[in-house]
Amino acid sequence: MDRIENAVDAFLQDYFGFNIPTVQLTDVVEIIIIAFFIYQVLIWIKNTRTWILFRGIMVIVAFLMLAAIFQMHTILWLGDRLFSAGFIAIIILFQPELRKALEQLGRNKFFNALLSMNFSRNIGDRFTEKTITDMVKASFEMGAVKTGALIVIELNDELTEYERTGITLDSLVSRQLLINIFEKNTPLHDGAVLVRGNRIVSATCYLPLSDNMELSKDLGTRHRAAVGISEVCDALTIVVSEETGAVSIAREGKLMRDVTEDVLEDQLRSIQKAEDVKTDQEHGRFFWGRRSGHVDEDKESADR
């Protein structure tokens, strides 16, 4: 095997002037990691309006390459001066997109598993079975009469910055209250309602709009806001269409359109179960911590 490699290496060196590079396992791992990140960046660029700006930058780069081929020294001099400040210019131009990309990277499940930190909600912030029933009934009753609605259910990521954009309510979730909030021509019907646990904490909240180019063109502002908030946090958002009365769910940047009552109820229960598991784990850590503390105290008493 070594003879074959040496023969091929000698042939390439004699006729083409280069050797076969030595490839190690770390090199393969590096290539895979770089390819993965480049792929993720291209997917992120393609799914946002950044793709248009990116194409403009590629046109400028292609023009500068032509200038280099034909020795256009003035254009190359200008290009060199522009690219010296290009990094800062890119950060300024793509600031919203870069922030969104970093937020999505921070919410990645793989990295969350590696860097797991206990920032979960308090036990009292979980919603009950009655809250699930009231939200489901209110959503489909509003859909039956084509009343638009936007309900954001906070999970692990805090939504304080969006809560401040609305009017503070701090009321228990109920079917009647949700329907009354979104009733047309009422002071609180415009904007989103923020639900934390069993309480409606704020109404008329402003949400970020999604700039995902793959979203259907027939989606209005309400649906784009639902997808937008799901792109920057882990919240689940219920949106009721004012035009069709259809109920949809937005989470993790995806929109599940025209769902049934059973599907919505299952989605809410899956969140509730996930919170229950997390709470049990917290109880376990608390219990074992207390137990360890008691053991240490007993040892100290015995020593005395």
Q: What pLDDT is recorded for position 103?
A: 65
Look at residue 284 and tell me if it is in a domain. no
How far is residue 151's CA from residue 195's CA, in Å, rounded to a whole number?
7
189 and 90 housed in the same domain: no
195 membership: H or E segment, kind and range? strand 192-196
What is the C-alpha separation between 181 and 246, in angstroms, rounded?
Answer: 18
Q: Which domain holds residue 19?
A: 2-112
List of residues 6+ apart from 100 with CB closer than 8 A? 48, 231, 232
Q: What pLDDT was estimated at residue 297?
A: 41
4/13 Cα distance (integer angstroms): 14
73 domain-assigned: yes
* Alpha-carbon gap, residue 185 to 208, rounded angstroms: 23
Nearest to 229, CA basis, from 215, 214, 209, 248? 209
Please give the Cα distance from 204 to 178 (Å, whole number): 12
- Containing 232, the helix (H) or strand (E) segment is helix 221-232
Q: What is the CATH number of the domain that holds 271?
A: 3.40.1700.10
pLDDT tens-place values along the chain, 304 residues long: 556 656 666 666 666 655 556 667 887 888 898 888 888 777 766 666 666 677 777 888 888 888 888 888 888 888 777 776 776 777 776 676 676 666 666 655 555 555 554 444 444 456 789 999 999 999 999 999 999 999 999 988 889 889 999 999 989 999 999 999 999 889 998 999 999 999 999 999 999 998 787 888 888 899 999 999 998 888 999 999 999 999 999 998 899 999 999 999 999 998 877 655 444 444 444 333 444 444 344 444 434 4
Strand order in the sheet with 149-153: 167-172, 199-205, 192-196, 149-153, 236-240, 247-251, 254-256
Residue 292 within any structural domain of the chain: no
Is 298 inside any structural domain?
A: no
Total tally of structural domains belonging to the chain: 2
Q: What CA–CA distances, in Å, run from 102 to 34, 97, 132, 211, 217?
A: 17, 9, 32, 16, 27
- The Cα–Cα gap between 173 and 201 comes to 9
Question: In this structure, is residue 285 part of a structural domain?
Answer: no
199 and 104 housed in the same domain = no
Residues 79 and 159 in one domain: no
Residue 101 and residue 204 share a domain: no
Residue 294 domain flag: no
Q: Which of 85, 112, 139 corresponds to the end of one domain?
A: 112
Same domain? For 174 and 219 the reply is yes
> What's the confidence (pLDDT) of residue 49?
61
Which H or E run contains 200? Answer: strand 199-205
What's this model's pTM, rounded to 2 decimal places?
0.62
Output the pLDDT for position 302: 39
Query: Residues 180, 13: contact at Cβ < 8 Å?
Result: no
Are the C-beta atoms of residues 149 and 238 closer than 8 Å to each other?
A: yes
What is the structure's pLDDT at 77?
A: 82
